[in-house]
Structure 1
Amino acid sequence: MINRLMEEKAAKVGSLQEVLKEEEKTSMGLKVALASEEEKRKKIEGKVSELERQVSRHILEAKAQAIEEFKIFSEIRDLNIQFSKEAFQKGFELYED
């Protein structure tokens, strides 16, 4: 009877050991998958950071370009005003003569 109980306990222990081995395999697989996902996440974060830097740089370049275009616009506007003024004066002088 004791032998039979010991055999049953040994069988249960063996069964539990098999379950434990399977759980350890599953756990290792999950750890590997998690490490892989963590590596992917870090790569993606690096790409996002690089894209953010690029966007910031493009925004600064666009601002600088807009300022330059505004300066050119202001210069052209001033030239147009000057030309209109001179044309008006010439026209007035011709009218007086």
Structure 2
Amino acid sequence: MTDAKIILQAIANNQCIVVTYNRMQLKLAPHILYSRHGAPFLDAVAVEREGKELSDPRLGTFKLAGLQDVAIIERSFKFMIGFDASDPKYAEAPAD
């Protein structure tokens, strides 16, 4: 299964994923997978970094090409309050 399919499955089932990003292990609550300038991106809340819970989790943007070792874990999540999947940010912008 591709990383994108794993992430989409996690989003559909409100399950967290574990990834390696910039040589750090993160647990993410994936919110949306989208394309920007033809490249896939993920907006997700990092809930844990290097085994430590984050006290101030917030929505971050991750380039899919930078994610490694993507796997679904048995941890559910609720979407961040105020998250709006219809935000224009998630519409594919025309190439320059």
For Structure 1 versus Structure 2, the TM-score category normalised by the shorter chain is: under 0.3
Bigger fraction of residues in strand:
2
Q: What is the TM-score when the length of structure 2 is the normalising length?
A: 0.13
Bigger fraction of residues in helix:
1
- Structure whose CA Rg is larger: 1
